[in-house]
Structure formats: structure tokens, C-alpha cells
């Protein structure tokens, strides 16, 4: 037996399968991403509707991971809650089994014509919609071509008695089959691919239905690794981790429940269809439907479990622009008032970010760091929304005073967006202090408190200036900027003296200086807002 040829061909076939899945998923996302988001945004507290949406969306885009990632984004934006998300994740687990059902139909016989049609559509299409449709069709064909390539080589493995014996007896010790499949799925990060391989192995006579059932159950655990890596592998929100954990608990609890009854479940599955390919596909589908029906009535328990395992405050951020109405554009005064109101809301979020950056730094609070990162996204979106709205006001017939006021508002949102960036920079410094366990001297902390106090006052006063243009407050902000400049120069000198005396560590020094300079830049931007309000530019 030519092992090199078999290994290379199976690996190549698996790569084609995964590439086809990627093309299919990306094409569907590009073609229907906006609709996907709109559908998920319209979720209600009806858990049955949530499951249905999860099934339909994931069946279409062929990726439970994409569905979950989209949901996490909506949670972070405050559009939906964790409790609303969990039923959709349940439905996504059912929707992802559609691939196995398609594989059981042996569509690989038509894979080359399907690839040809998809490629032709992709090459000649003039619109993006048809181009993405061609990509979807081509991905579908490549997926089954990969299966066909694997199938021809997998059958050759049946000629080796040792392999047949080893695989056949995996079903005799179910946990071995579950673990083997789990690790395989973790490596390739696709339960659909594992299902395809299992179906082809069964079709070649390498494994029996009991072994196949064990491997399908293992694949359900292995597939959670993609979401776990995404949620826990970097700087993500608590909501993201809880959503990922609910996915893991759903599948792990299923294995715990099914394991004692694998023999009975295998018997049931073997009677569900006339061919072993369809029996395996049904195994995948029935498992997820059963677990969904069970967990659907225990959603509060799931929420409690993930909240207990991943403790901390939920990060809640305000939604995007809520005061901008394009119907008011024909009445510029009203439209300007709405833009001004939205700018004030933006300023309040920026002030909250500065407050949170202070808590992150002084309290070593990572929750506040995550909050600021989410709020920065909201500020960036508001900056863009208000700027676009103001540009539309400018197309109307305006008086010189109105144009001047709009120009001031443009200056304000630009400076507020920069203040948000500096608050985020301070959080990054706080994160380094926490991660590396660095320490500042008591004198350095006291100096930072002093600068924070007056800088926060300056940002707070900007809210009043944007609305009223109060001369007394404008003077106060301009004076604060000059005071901050003097303090920063003095404190930098103090820092050098502390370094020479050994009262401050060289590792923490750059953090201290960066925080000081970011606070100085925040006061500069509040100065810009006040100065523009006074002099009209």
C-alpha cells in the first residue's frame, strides 16, 4: 500500500473541503452580511424564534462560528442580551448539521460541473451580488470535490487489516472514539469536515455505526474550539466569553447525557435511515435537536452557569446615533439642534471613558479597560454619523451664523474623538501595568491624581461649552490647559529626580510619562473646543 500517496491525497482532499467551506461561507457573508445583521437585530425575547433564526441563518451561511461572532458583536453593541443570544446559539448547532445531511446525498458526483458553473459566474459577473453568488456555487463544488478526493483514498485503507481492526474497536470503548474525533476536529476546526470524513470512512467499511456515533459526538465538542480561541485568545469582552462558554456547555453537557446511553442511541440511529451515510447525518442532527429541546427550557440556568464561571460586570454601551433624523434636514435649525444634542451625548461617553481610564489605572480594573475599548467603537461610529449628518445640513441654504455653528460642531466632534483615543491609550498603559505587575511610587500616583482631577473637570465643562458657550467656563478650560502644561513639565522633572534617587523603577517610568502626556493632550483638545467656541473657528 502506497502510504505516502494516501496521506497526501487525503490531506489534499481535506484541504479542498475546508477551502470550499471557506469560499462558500465568505461568499454568503459578503452577499448577505447586512441582511444577517438585520435579522439578528430583530430578535425578541421569544426563545423559539431565536432558535429558528439560528437554524436558518447557520444553515444558509454554513458556519456556526460566523453566527456566534455576529451575535457577540450585537451583544457588545447593546442591541441584544446574552439571554436572547443563547437560543440562537442552540439553533446554530442544529443549522451546522445541514452539511452532513448534504454529504449523505453523495452530491460529489456533480462537483466538477458545479465548480465550472460557479467559476463562470464569478468571472463574467458585473455586479457584486452575482460575483458572490458565483463564489458560493464554486465553494459548494470545491467542498464536494474535496470529499470525492478523500473518498477514493479512504477506501484503500480498508485493505489494511490493522487499520480496520483499530477503527472498528473504537466503538467498543466509546470514550476513545469521542476523544479521537474531538482532537481531530480541534485541529481542523470544522465539525462539518469531521462529519464528512466519518461518513466516507463508514461508506468504505472502515468503521461501524457505533464508532461513527462516538466520533460524531466527539466532533460536537471539538468544534467549540474555534469560538473558544476567538473569545479567550485575546482582549475580548465578558459577554463574548460567556457566549462562547454557553456553546461549550451545550455540547459538553450533551456528551455527558448521551454517553451512558450510547448503545441505545446507536440502535435508534441505525433505524433512522436505510444507509449508513444518512444514519450518521441523522446522528449529528438528532443530537443537537435533542440538546436544544432540553436546554431551551433551562436558559436561565445556562445564563447563571456562564455568569458564575465568567464573573464580572456586563459591559453595556450605548447604541449609536439616536437623535439624527434626516427628515429634519429641510429645517436646518432643527437639524443642527439634533446634531448638537448627539454631540453632547458623544461628549458624555467621552467623559465616561476618561473616568473609566482613571479607574483602570488606579484600581487595576480590567473591566474598565474593556469598557473603554467598547466605548471607543461607539465614539468612532458617532463621529462618522454626526459628520455625515452635518455635511448634509451644509448642502441646504444656510445663514452665515448657521454655517459658523456647524463648523464649530465639526471641530468639537473631531476633538472629542481624539480625547477618546487618548483615554484608550491610558487604558493600554494600565493594562501593561497590570499584566507586568509594575509599580509607581506614591509621589507619582499623587501627581497623576492631580492632573486627572483638573483634566476631568475640563472635559466635563466642554459639555456645557458645546451647548451654551459660557464665557466663564471657556476661561476656566483655557486656564486649565495652561495649568496642565506647567504641571506636566514639573512632574517630568520630578520623575527624573526620582529615577536618579532610585525611588522609581525604569520599567514603570515610561508608563507614567505616557499617561501624563496623554492627559496633556486631552487638555489640549478641550482647549481647542473652548477656543473655537470663543473665536468662531
Q: Which helix (H) or strand (E) holds 207?
A: none
Q: Which of 370, 368, 367, 377 is nearest to 346 (CA)?
A: 377
| CB-based contact 200:152 (threshold 8 Å) | no
The residue written with cell numbers 461649552 in the block is 465
Q: For residue 12, what are the contacts with CB-CB under 8 A and spacing of at least 6?
A: 146, 149
Q: How far is CA 467 from CA 161, 338, 353, 433, in A?
A: 83, 12, 20, 38
Question: Domain residues of the chain, as ranges?
Answer: 3-309, 326-535
What is the mean pLDDT for each group of 10 consecutive residues in the chain (537 residues)? 67 75 65 55 68 76 60 55 80 76 65 87 81 82 74 56 56 74 69 73 77 83 68 57 82 88 87 83 87 89 87 57 64 74 88 91 84 87 88 72 78 91 92 84 89 91 83 89 91 85 76 91 91 72
C-alpha dihedral (202, 65, 220, 140), degrees to nearest 10: -10
Query: What is the full DSSP assignment across 219-272?
Result: HHHHTTHHHHHHHHSSS--HHHHHHHHHHHHHHHHHHHHHGGGHHHHHHHHHTS
Cβ-defined contacts of 119-128 (< 8 Å, 24+)? 128/30, 128/31
Q: Would you say the C-alpha torsion 66, 69, 71, 73 has a positive or negative sign?
A: negative
State the Cα angle at 344 between 338 and 349, rounded to 5°. 130
Buried b or exposed e, range 380-408, using 16+ CB within 10 angstroms: eebbebbbebbeebeeeebeeebeebbeb
In the structure grid, which three cell numbers stand for residue 225, read together? 474550539
Q: How far apart are CA 113 and CA 170, in angstroms?
A: 38
Name which of 171, 178, 183, 216 is nearest 197 in CA terms: 216
Q: What is the CA radius of gyration of the chain?
A: 29
Q: Pick the closest to residue 97 from 263, 273, 266, 216 (CA basis).
A: 216
Phi, psi at 447, each rounded to 5° = -65, -40
Taking the C-alpha atoms of residue 48 and residue 167, their distance in angstroms, rounded to an integer, is 40
The whole-number pLDDT of residue 31 equals: 61
Are the C-beta atoms of residues 169 and 160 closer than 8 Å to each other? Answer: no
Q: Which residue has the cell 453523495?
A: 106
| Whole-number pLDDT of residue 322 | 60
SS3 call for 288: helix
d(CA 495, CA 330): 56
Q: So what's the pLDDT on residue 483? A: 92
Classify residue 250 as exposed, middle or buried by CB count within 10 Å of its CB (0-12, 13-18, 19+). buried
Q: Report the distance separating Cα 142 and Cα 524, nearest Å.
A: 57
The three three-digit cell numbers of residue 233, written as one number: 485568545
* pLDDT for res 203: 75
Give the angle 493-497-499 at the CA atoms, nearest 5°: 115
Query: Do 178 and 217 contact (CB within 8 A), yes or no?
Result: yes
pLDDT at 300: 87
> Position of cell 473657528?
537
Under a CB-based contact definition with an 8 Å cutoff, are residues 224 and 186 in contact?
no
> CB 364: neighbour CB atoms within 10 A?
14
pLDDT for position 419: 94
Q: What CATH number has the domain spanning 326-535?
A: 1.20.58.220
Amino acid at each position: 500500500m502506497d502510504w505516502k500517496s494516501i496521506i497526501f491525497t487525503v490531506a489534499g482532499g481535506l484541504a479542498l473541503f475546508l477551502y470550499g467551506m471557506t469560499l462558500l461561507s465568505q461568499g454568503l457573508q459578503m452577499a448577505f452580511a447586512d441582511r444577517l445583521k438585520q435579522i439578528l437585530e430583530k430578535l425578541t425575547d421569544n426563545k423559539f424564534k431565536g432558535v429558528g433564526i439560528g437554524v436558518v441563518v447557520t444553515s444558509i451561511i454554513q458556519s456556526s462560528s460566523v453566527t456566534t461572532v455576529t451575535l457577540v458583536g450585537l451583544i457588545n453593541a447593546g442591541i441584544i442580551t446574552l439571554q436572547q443570544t443563547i437560543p440562537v446559539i442552540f439553533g446554530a448547532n442544529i443549522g451546522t448539521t445541514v452539511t452532513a445531511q448534504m454529504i449523505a446525498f453523495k452530491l460529489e458526483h456533480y462537483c466538477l460541473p458545479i465548480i465550472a458553473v460557479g467559476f463562470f459566474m464569478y468571472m463574467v459577473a458585473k455586479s457584486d451580488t452575482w460575483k458572490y453568488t458565483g463564489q458560493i456555487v464554486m465553494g459548494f463544488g470545491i467542498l464536494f470535490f474535496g470529499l470525492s478526493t478523500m473518498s477514493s483514498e479512504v477506501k484503500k485503507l480498508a485493505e489494511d487489516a490493522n487499520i480496520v481492526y483499530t477503527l472498528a474497536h473504537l466503538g467498543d470503548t466509546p470514550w476513545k472514539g469521542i476523544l479521537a474525533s474531538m482532537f481531530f476536529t480541534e485541529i481542523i476546526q470544522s465539525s462539518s469536515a469531521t462529519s464528512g470524513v466519518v461518513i466516507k470512512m463508514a461508506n468504505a467499511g472502515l468503521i461501524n455505526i457505533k464508532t461513527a456515533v462516538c466520533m460524531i459526538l466527539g466532533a460536537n465538542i471539538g468544534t467549540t474550539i474555534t469560538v473558544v480561541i476567538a473569545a479567550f485568545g485575546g482582549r475580548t469582552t465578558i459577554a463574548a466569553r460567556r457566549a462562547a462558554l454557553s456553546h461549550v456547555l451545550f455540547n459538553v453537557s450533551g456528551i455527558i447525557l448521551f454517553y451512558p446511553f450510547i448503545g441505545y442511541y446507536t440502535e435508534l440511529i441505525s433505524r433512522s435511515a436505510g444507509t449508513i451515510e444518512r444514519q450518521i447525518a441523522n446522528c449529528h442532527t438528532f443530537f443537537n435537536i435533542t440538546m436544544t429541546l432540553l436546554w431551551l427550557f433551562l436558559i436561565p440556568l445556562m445564563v447563571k452557569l456562564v455568569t458564575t464561571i465568567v464573573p464580572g460586570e456586563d459591559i453595556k454601551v450605548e447604541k449609536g446615533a439616536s437623535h439624527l433624523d434626516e427628515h429634519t434636514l429641510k429645517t436646518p435649525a432643527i437639524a443642527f439642534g439634533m446634531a448638537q444634542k448627539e454631540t453632547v451625548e458623544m461628549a458624555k461617553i467621552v467623559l465616561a471613558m476618561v473616568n473609566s481610564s482613571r479607574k483602570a489605572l488606579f484600581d487595576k480594573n480590567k473591566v474598565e479597560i474593556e469598557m473603554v475599548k467598547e466605548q471607543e467603537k461607539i465614539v468612532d461610529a458617532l463621529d462618522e454619523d454626526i459628520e455625515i449628518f452635518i455635511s448634509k445640513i451644509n448642502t441646504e441654504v444656510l445663514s452665515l451664523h448657521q454655517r459658523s455653528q456647524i463648523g464649530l460642531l465639526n471641530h468639537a466632534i473631531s476633538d472629542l474623538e481624539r480625547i477618546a483615543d487618548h483615554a484608550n491609550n491610558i487604558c493600554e498603559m494600565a493594562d501593561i501595568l497590570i499584566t507586568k505587575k509594575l509599580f509607581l511610587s506614591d509621589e507619582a500616583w499623587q501627581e497623576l491624581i492631580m492632573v486627572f482631577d483638573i483634566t476631568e473637570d475640563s472635559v466635563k465643562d466642554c459639555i456645557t461649552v458645546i451647548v451654551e458657550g459660557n464665557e466663564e467656563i471657556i476661561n476656566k478650560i483655557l486656564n486649565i490647559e495652561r495649568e496642565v502644561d506647567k504641571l506636566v513639565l514639573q512632574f517630568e522633572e520630578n520623575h527624573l529626580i526620582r529615577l536618579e534617587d532610585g525611588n522609581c523603577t525604569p520599567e514603570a517610568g515610561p508608563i507614567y510619562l505616557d499617561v501624563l502626556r496623554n492627559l496633556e493632550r486631552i487638555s489640549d483638545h478641550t482647549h481647542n473646543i473652548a477656543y473655537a467656541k470663543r473665536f468662531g473657528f
